[in-house]
Structure 1
């Protein structure tokens, strides 16, 4: 009779400070700390008594595929007492709406959005002005308008500002490894609570107003909210619709903005790559939104940016119940973390991992090691806007190289900032519209 060994209790890890654990060393240089621990302790190590960090692609895939079952994706920036089963019930409510929402990402809705996206892009860059501008701020403005257009086009007025405030209020909390309770006497906490409540109220009002207005006219291009409200057998509740729209808008505000900011940085940092992107773009009419399949090098460029600089650079999951991960045991409520930044640069899985090389995505045998490229996640909670995000980023890159000269003065930012998202800290640039462009 074969005996299956019992799972080990806890992987090894750095002991850290007596009172503060590893938080202080981690916050000094998050990426360096994680890489140092991986080299010393292996692909699974303990950060603290309730947190495990993993770097093995198979284990990362395992935890992502078991999300919504053994693990939960929901996180909160404040130290609140959570009930895993109550959280799971809320997640299922959200997932049922999300499954319907996939229909909202179909080709018809995406193409209608792409036609409007060009005007939104032009408006944001025109308003940026001729001088040095904060690139991330410009791209946040752009994607705030873009995702509001995609989700609630006819009711988008004012929503980008609400989403922006929610995201900006969350940022200082997500940067800290210390979580404080909601009652904590802090302006940062009060600001976040107010912003979150304002976002819920705004989304609830949009859903109420759209339902009262009825279906769109036959000649009106549908948006995601139209699709969700038209769902039947059974119809989605107002709460499900509101939560899904809110979740998508919050996720699609900061992440693609960070990605496009890195795209601007890399177009200037790698002039030979920019020339290749420009050459491909020159074969197309800027007045018509080309398909991403007709821009293979541009798409490869975007993929390489997302490999080296994934905005969502660190992902976490919470054990819903006592379970195992590989040979290790996890208790209910334990946290599991993994870094996409480290995964995408691991020399075990990538040839010349630190090299910026879009061509790697165009090689006939560019088969990747499984589960080593996850800029949009994977499993049941893979980013619902994966296809939409790639369309937006590829088209934005196309319009940028066709219509603008971009310059970045030496020393004007670009240092990686590993906060809630990976962004180029303090990046400023000039966007000069070329003569003859409308």
Structure 2
């Protein structure tokens, strides 16, 4: 909606407690609290302790901050917390540094470049899935986390790929464990005051150790790539090649920071989305059957993709709508700015939640119903800009969105073509909201079709 001529004041969400602000509400029910304040205005103020934060509740507000006035916003508190531990890569860098890094990395994420990795992705998925046995119970959340990490390492960071499936799986498990710990630590450091967030009881020492281990792994990958003239064309070769604006290429530290950034952005989110996708297939046999039939009908040698697998693609987009893993993202106003009639001062922290946006009944009728065919009735292009944002928007839109979608379609095609998935009796899958919204645990029994 158009901003009024005179500024309006963003209302304060109910439940504010002196000194603590809305932290108790966020601690008890993070997504539920953000969902409960959507009806109070396009922009609503909450407080993290005494720190005011502006919550963007409408597609117009989100689009204005991320796209229309995107140059007036920086990354925000969440990324300030992450920067000392994952470096100044594409996730955390600002303005000119970000633009230069994004241009340098973009060739590795062009569609033709990703298409060249589909065979590697398929081999990794087949290697894992072919080891399952009829009736076996698989910890799908852990398997998907390891598989997504291995695919990312193998396809983008090819110099670090060890020989043999066992070594590759071990590396994937090690990286995945460290990533989970680091992301949890970043979340704690964002919502809690520093003296509290750094307490050992909250796992701060584990967070520091995991961040150091990830940096060491990334440093090793960069060093090996520099020393090996036969480097096999992974992302590091793109980083070292340079661009017209940056002809000398990245330094070792810059390359290290980008590896960490892409691991943070690309492994855990993809793995969590895949876990939710398998959960939905397990409890919805009719949908699983349609996905299986479409995947089995794919001609040999045809890479899985949205055009070749239209129903599976709609299924995946519905998973990203209802099970969006990133429940909270932030921006910071770098100058005074008006958004939807509300004046935000310089330095104001703004947050938005794709999870709550994706459950707005104004855009998604019966929003809690899982329905892949809703995308036939109202495709994404017919929604207001900002209403469907699984990969964010604007200049900060996820550089690896097509890579992630391709990777997930490869995994779904590989799993569902061969196996039927069954929920385990007496186990209730429930969401755990920390740095991401992930399943508490996802054991599933597999059987042949």
TM-score after normalising by structure 1: 0.87
Contact preservation (8 Å) 1:70, 1:323: no
Cα distance in 1 for residues equivalent to 2:187 and 2:318: 26
The C-alpha deviation readout for 1:161-186, integer Å capped at 9, x for no partner, is 45323322224435543243599351
Residue of 289, 309, 317 corresponding to 1:303: 317
1:118 equivalent to 2:122? Answer yes
* Contact 2:179–2:268 under 8 Å retained in 1: yes
* Aligned partners of 2:72 and 2:337 also within 8 Å: no
Mapping for residues 370-385 of structure 1, pairs under 5 Å: 370-385=385-400
Find the counterpart in structure 1 of residue 264 from structure 2. Answer: 250
In structure 2, distance between residues paired with 1:285 and 1:88: 42
Cα distance in 1 for residues equivalent to 2:250 and 2:127: 35
Number of the residue aligned with 2:136: 131
State the 1:30 CA deviation: 1.6
Matched residues in 2 for 1:416 and 1:51: separation?
25
The partner residue of 2:207 within 192, 209, 229 is 192
Pair 1:365–1:179, CA change in 2 (3 A): closer
In structure 2, which of residues 225, 231, 250 is the aligned counterpart of residue 237 of structure 1? Answer: 250
In 1, are the aligned partners of 2:83 and 2:92 still within 8 Å (CA)? no
* 8 Å Cα contact 1:163-1:250 kept in structure 2: no
Report what 2:167 is aligned to.
none
- 1:271 matched residue in structure 2: 285
* 2:88 matched residue in structure 1: none
CA distance in 2, matches of 1:416, 1:183: 23
**Counterpart check, 1:61 vs 2:72:** no
Equivalent residue, structure 1, for 2:73: 70
CA contact (8 A) 1:170 1:192 kept: yes
| 1:153–1:223 Cα contact (<8 Å) kept | yes
1:141-195 deviation digits (Å, cap 9, x = unpaired): 1011011012212313475345323322224435543243599351611221222
Q: For the structure 1 residues 123 and 200, does the alpha-carbon distance in structure 2 shift closer, same or farther, using more than 3 Å as the test?
A: same
User: How big is each residue's C-alpha offset from its partner over 1:240-260, in whole Å with a ceiling of 9 and x where there is no partner?
Assistant: 322222211121111010100
Query: Where does residue 165 of structure 2 map in the other structure?
Result: none
Unaligned runs of 5+ in 1: 81-86
Task: State the alpha-carbon separation in 2 of the partners of residues 337 and 43 from structure 1.
Answer: 12
Deviations 1:210-250 (A, max 9, x none): 1222254xxx5x32222222233223222332222221112
Q: Give the whole-Å Cα distance in 2 for the aligned partners of 1:59 and 1:108.
A: 34
- Give how far 1:44 is off: 1.5
Instruction: Say whether the 8 Å CA contact 1:79–1:179 is kept in structure 2.
Output: no
The change in CA–CA distance for 1:78 and 1:102 in structure 2 (over 3 A counts) is closer
Name stretches of at least 5 consecutive residues in structure 2 with no aligned partner: 85-90, 163-169
The answer to whether structure 1 residue 145 and structure 2 residue 150 are counterparts is yes
Query: What CA distance in whole angstroms lies between the structure 1 residues aligned with 2:177 and 2:71?
Result: 29
TM-score normalised by length of structure 2: 0.85
Q: Matched residues in 1 for 2:412 and 2:259: separation? A: 26
Using the TM superposition, give the Cα deviation of residue 298 of structure 1 relative to its aligned residue in structure 2, in angstroms.
0.6
Matched residues in 2 for 1:88 and 1:353: separation? 32
The answer to whether the Cα contact below 8 Å between 2:11 and 2:41 also exists between their aligned partners in 1 is no
Instruction: Give the Cα separation in 2 of the matches to 1:156 and 1:305.
Output: 30
Aligned residue number for residue 401 of structure 2: 386
Q: What is the aligned partner in structure 1 of residue 166 from structure 2?
A: none
